[in-house]
C-alpha cells in the first residue's frame, strides 16, 4: 500500500474508532442514567406505598420516567380510606388510559360503597367493573328510591351460579319489590344445580313457599352432603324435583365412594322413577368412577355403557383399565372404539403400537410406532425409543430485526412493561404487556418476546408462543437462564439438571413470582414450611417465605428438595415427579395397587389426569432441556426405569439420541398426525394439587 493511501486508511480508521467510542460512551451514559432512575424509582415507590406525599421529594428526577404515574397511584391506593373524590378524579384526568387509573377507580368505588356515599359512587361509576360493583350501583339506585327493573338490572346477574355478598342487599330489595317470582327462583336454582353450587340453592330456598322449600333444600343437600342425601332419598316423594336431587347426589357420591353409590342406586330405583336421561347419567358416573378405582368389573361396565352417553373421558378410561390389567386385546379394542379424532391423540397412537407389539403383530406395530414417533412429545419419544430412531424436534428461530425492536420499544405500554420488570414489579409488568400486546400482529409479538428474552423475562416466550408456528421456537420456550444456577445447584444436589429444568418449567413456566392457592412459591413452587425444613436439613440460609421469589434461592432449595424426595423413590425421576405433583402418600397408594406395572403403563393408569399429564410433560421437558444443554439427549427409556430400579444418571457419557424434523410416514395405516393437545382440563377423577398453568407439549 502506498504511503499516502495508508495515511488515508489510517485517518478513516481513526474516524471510525472515534465514532464507535462516542456511541459506546453514549450507550454507557444512557445505561447509567437508566440505572440511576430505576434506583430512584424504587426508593420513591417504597415511600409512596406508605402513603402521603413524601415520595415527591424522592421523585424530582423521575417526571420523564415511564413509571412516574405509578408513584402517585401507590400513594393514593395506600390512603384510599382517607382521600376524596377530587383527588381521585384529578389522577384519572391526568392518566385516563393507564392501568393504575383503572385500578384506582375500581378501588375507590369499593371504598365509596363501604362509606355508602352513593352520590359520589354514581358520579364515578362505569359499567363493566365486575358483579360486585354492578350490585353496588344497583344498591345506589335503590337508595335513591328508584325501582329495580328485572330485565334491565338483574337478568344478567341472575344467570350467574354465584354472586358476591355485595349483591345480597340488591337481591333482597328485588324480592321485596316482588321481582323474584317462583319461576325465576327455580330458573336460578337450576343454574346453580348444574354448576354444583349448593350454597346458592340454600340461600334461594328461603324465598320459596310450601313444598318448593323442601324441594330446593333437597337439591342443596344433594350437592353439599351427597351421602346424607342418598340415605334420606329413600323417603322422598317420587316427584321430578326429588329425582333431580337424587340424581345429583348419586353422581356426586360416585366420585367419592363408588361402591356406596352403587348400593344406593340399587335401593332408590325401587322408590323413584328416574327418567332415561337421569338413569344414563347415574350409570355413566358409576361406570367412570368404578374405573378410576380399578374395580374388577369396571371394564365391563364401560363397555356396556349406552353409546349415547359415552364420552371421550369414558372411552379413554376403558383403555386405562385394560392397560392396568395388561389385557392387550382389550386395549386395542378400546382404542379402535374411539372416534377417529380421539384415536389421533399421541397417547393412543403410542398405546395402539404397544398393544400391537405385545400381541405379536410386529409389522403393524412398527408402522404404528413410526407414526407415533413423528410426534414431538412424551409419547412420541417413547415410540422413538421402541424404534431406536432420533427424536422429532422441528426447531425454528423467530425472525427479528433492529427496526422492529425499536418500534416495540417506542410503544409506551411496552416501555412501562419492561421497566416494571426491571424494578421487580412483575405482576404489573405482565398486565402492561398484556394490554399493550392485546391486538399486536405476530411479527410485533416476536420482536417483543425477543427483547424480553434478552432481558431475562423468560415467561413471555412461554405464554406467547403457545400455538402454531410459535411452538417451534424451542430455544425461547425452554430458556436455560444460566445466571440462576440450575445446572450447578442440580449437580451439587446430585440430580440430573435437565430434570430439574423440566420440573421448574412445568411448575412455574419461569414465572419467578408464581404463587399457588396452597402458597407454594417461586420457580419450583415450594411451600415456605417445606423450604425452611430443606434449608435446615442442608445447612443453607433461610430468610423467610418471600425469599422463595428470588430465583437463586428457590432453585438452591428446590433442587435439594427434589433430591430429598427422589431418595424415597429410588432416585426415579418420573416417579418422583408424580410425587412432587400428587404427594408422596398418594403415589405410595398407587404403588401398592399397581406397582408391578411397567413405567409407561403405571403413568397411564394414575387416577389423576393432572398428575398423568404432569409426569408426561416433565419427562418431555427433561429431554428438551437435555438437548439444549448437550445438543443431544439421553433416551426417554433411561429416564423411565422400572419401579424399584435406580436410574442411571443421564450425562454426556451414556447413550444419546439425536433430533430430526421428520414428517409422519405417508403410507402409515394409522390415523393422521394429531394436533397439539388441548389445554389441561379438570381431572377426570379426583383432582390432584393444582400447579401453575403452562403451555402444552408439542
| Burial class of 69 by CB neighbour count within 10 A (0 to 12, 13 to 18, 19+) | middle
Average pLDDT over residues 667-689: 32
Contact 675, 696 (CB under 8 A): no
Place of cell 346477574: 157
Task: Write the pLDDT tens digit of every residue in 518-541.
Answer: 999 999 999 999 999 999 999 999
pLDDT greater than 60 at residue 663: no
CB contact set of 176 (below 8 Å; sequence gap of 6+): none
3-state secondary structure of 392: strand
CA dihedral 160, 166, 167, 169 (to 10 degrees): 160
Amino acid 645: pLDDT: 87
Query: Residue 11: which pLDDT band, with cuts at 50, 70 and 90?
Result: low
Task: Write the pLDDT tens digit of every residue in 152-161.
Answer: 999 999 999 9
pLDDT greater than 90 at residue 678: no
Average pLDDT over residues 220-231: 98
Amino acid 647: pLDDT: 81
Contact 66, 100 (CB under 8 A): no
| Secondary structure letter of residue 650 according to DSSP | P
Query: Residue 692: which pLDDT band, with cuts at 50, 70 and 90?
Result: very low
Task: Write the pLDDT tens digit of every residue in 461-509.
Answer: 999 999 999 999 999 999 999 899 999 999 999 999 999 999 999 999 9
Query: Residue 4: which pLDDT band, with cuts at 50, 70 and 90?
Result: low
pLDDT greater than 90 at residue 600: yes
Q: Would you list the domain boundaries of the chain? A: 402-472
Amino acid 5: pLDDT: 55
Grid cell, residue 294, equals 380399578
Query: Residue 675: which pLDDT band, with cuts at 50, 70 and 90?
Result: very low
Top-confidence residue, 292 or 653: 292
Average pLDDT over residues 110-114: 98
Contact 509, 630 (CB under 8 A): no
pLDDT greater than 90 at residue 147: yes
- Rounded to the nearest integer, the mean pLDDT of the chain is 91
User: Which of 658, 578, 649 lies closest to 617 in space, CA to CA?
Assistant: 578
Average pLDDT over residues 171-200: 97
pLDDT greater than 80 at residue 169: yes
Amino acid 14: pLDDT: 52
Amino acid 619: pLDDT: 98
CB contact set of 467 (below 8 Å; sequence gap of 6+): 676
Amino acid 652: pLDDT: 55
Question: Catalytic amino acids?
Answer: 507
Chain center to CA of 244: 34
Percentage of residues in the chain having pLDDT higher than 90: 88
User: Which of 255, 252, 279, 281 lies closest to 266 in space, CA to CA?
Assistant: 279
| Burial class of 194 by CB neighbour count within 10 A (0 to 12, 13 to 18, 19+) | exposed
Amino acid 2: pLDDT: 57
Helices 402-409 and 412-422 pack at an angle, to 10 degrees, of: 90
Amino acid 654: pLDDT: 77
Contact 670, 367 (CB under 8 A): yes
Amino acid 221: pLDDT: 98
Task: Write the pLDDT tens digit of every residue in 359-396.
Answer: 999 999 999 999 999 999 999 999 999 999 999 999 99
Helix/strand/coil percent split, the chain, to 5: 65, 0, 35
Contact 285, 230 (CB under 8 A): no
Amino acid at each position: 500500500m502506498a504511503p499516502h493511501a495508508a495515511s488515508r486508511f489510517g485517518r478513516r480508521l481513526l474516524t471510525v474508532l472515534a465514532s464507535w467510542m462516542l456511541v459506546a460512551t453514549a450507550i454507557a451514559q444512557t445505561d447509567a442514567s437508566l440505572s440511576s432512575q430505576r434506583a430512584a424509582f424504587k426508593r420513591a415507590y417504597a415511600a409512596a406505598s406508605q402513603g402521603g406525599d413524601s415520595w415527591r421529594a424522592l421523585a424530582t428526577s423521575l417526571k420523564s420516567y415511564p413509571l412516574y404515574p405509578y408513584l402517585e397511584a401507590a400513594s393514593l391506593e395506600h390512603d384510599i380510606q382517607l382521600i376524596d373524590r377530587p383527588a381521585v378524579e384529578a389522577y384519572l384526568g391526568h392518566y385516563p388510559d393507564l392501568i393504575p387509573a383503572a385500578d384506582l377507580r375500581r378501588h375507590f368505588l369499593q371504598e365509596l360503597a363501604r362509606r355508602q356515599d352513593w352520590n359520589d359512587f354514581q358520579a364515578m361509576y362505569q359499567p363493566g367493573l365486575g358483579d360486585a360493583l354492578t350490585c353496588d350501583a344497583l344498591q345506589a339506585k335503590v337508595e335513591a328510591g328508584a325501582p329495580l327493573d328485572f330485565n334491565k338490572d338483574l337478568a344478567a346477574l341472575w344467570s350467574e351460579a354465584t354472586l358476591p355478598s355485595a349483591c345480597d342487599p340488591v337481591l333482597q330489595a328485588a324480592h321485596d319489590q316482588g321481582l323474584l317470582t317462583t319461576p325465576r327462583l327455580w330458573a336460578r336454582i337450576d343454574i346453580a344445580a348444574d354448576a354444583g353450587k349448593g350454597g346458592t340453592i340454600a340461600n334461594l330456598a328461603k324465598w320459596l313457599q310450601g313444598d318448593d322449600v323442601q324441594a330446593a333444600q333437597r337439591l342443596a343437600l344433594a350437592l353439599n352432603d351427597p351421602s346424607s342425601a342418598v340415605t334420606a332419598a329413600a323417603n322422598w316423594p317420587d316427584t321430578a324435583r326429588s329425582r333431580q336431587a337424587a340424581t345429583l347426589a348419586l353422581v356426586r357420591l360416585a366420585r367419592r365412594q363408588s361402591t356406596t353409590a352403587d348400593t344406593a342406586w340399587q335401593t332408590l330405583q325401587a322408590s323413584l322413577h328416574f327418567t332415561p336421561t337421569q338413569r344414563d347419567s347415574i350409570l355413566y358416573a358409576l361406570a367412570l368412577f368404578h374405573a378410576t378405582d380399578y374395580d374388577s368389573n369396571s371394564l365391563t361396565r364401560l363397555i356396556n355403557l349406552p353409546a349415547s352417553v359415552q364420552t371421550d373421558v369414558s372411552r379413554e378410561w376403558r383403555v386405562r383399565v385394560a392397560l392396568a390389567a395388561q389385557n392387550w386385546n382389550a386395549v386395542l379394542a378400546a382404542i379402535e372404539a374411539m372416534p377417529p379424532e380421539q384415536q389421533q391423540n399421541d397417547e393412543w397412537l403410542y398405546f395402539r403400537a404397544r398393544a400391537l407389539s405385545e400381541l405379536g403383530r410386529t409389522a403393524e406395530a412398527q408402522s404404528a410406532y413410526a407414526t407415533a414417533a413423528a410426534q414431538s412429545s412424551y409419547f412420541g419419544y417413547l415410540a422413538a425409543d421402541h424404534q431406536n430412531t432420533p427424536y422429532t424436534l422441528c426447531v425454528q428461530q423467530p425472525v427479528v430485526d433492529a427496526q422492529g425492536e425499536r418500534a416495540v420499544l417506542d410503544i409506551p405500554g411496552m416501555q412501562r412493561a419492561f421497566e416494571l420488570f426491571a424494578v421487580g414489579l412483575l405482576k404489573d409488568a405482565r398486565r402492561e404487556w398484556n394490554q399493550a400486546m392485546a391486538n399486536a400482529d405476530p411479527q410485533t409479538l416476536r420482536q417483543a418476546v425477543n427483547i424480553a428474552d434478552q432481558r431475562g423475562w423468560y415467561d413471555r416466550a412461554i405464554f406467547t408462543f403457545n400455538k402454531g408456528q410459535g411452538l417451534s421456537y424451542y430455544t425461547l420456550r425452554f430458556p436455560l437462564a444460566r445466571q440462576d444456577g440450575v445446572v450447578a445447584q442440580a449437580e451439587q444436589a446430585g440430580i440430573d439438571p435437565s430434570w430439574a429444568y423440566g420440573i421448574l418449567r412445568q411448575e412455574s413456566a419461569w414465572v419467578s413470582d408464581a404463587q399457588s392457592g396452597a402458597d407454594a412459591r417461586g420457580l419450583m413452587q415450594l411451600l415456605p414450611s417445606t423450604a425452611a425444613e430443606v434449608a435446615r436439613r442442608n445447612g443453607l440460609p433461610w430468610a423467610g417465605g418471600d425469599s422463595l421469589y428470588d430465583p437463586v434461592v428457590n432453585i438452591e432449595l428446590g433442587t435439594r428438595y427434589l433430591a430429598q424426595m427422589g431418595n424415597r423413590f429410588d432416585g426415579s425421576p418420573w416417579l418422583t415427579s408424580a410425587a412432587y405433583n400428587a404427594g408422596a402418600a398418594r403415589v405410595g397408594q398407587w404403588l401398592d395397587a399397581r406397582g408391578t406395572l411397567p413405567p409407561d403403563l403405571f403413568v397411564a393408569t394414575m387416577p389423576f389426569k393432572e398428575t398423568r399429564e404432569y409426569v408426561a410433560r416433565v419427562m418431555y421437558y427433561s429431554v428438551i432441556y437435555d438437548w439444549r444443554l448437550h445438543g443431544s439427549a439421553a433416551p426417554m427409556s433411561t429416564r423411565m426405569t422400572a419401579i424399584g430400579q435406580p436410574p442411571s444418571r443421564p450425562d454426556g457419557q451414556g447413550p444419546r439420541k439425536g433430533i430430526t424434523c421428520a414428517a409422519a410416514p405417508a403410507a402409515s395405516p394409522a390415523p393422521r398426525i394429531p394436533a397439539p393437545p388441548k389445554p389441561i382440563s379438570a381431572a377426570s377423577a379426583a383432582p390432584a394439587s393444582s400447579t401453575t398453568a403452562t403451555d402444552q407439549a408439542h
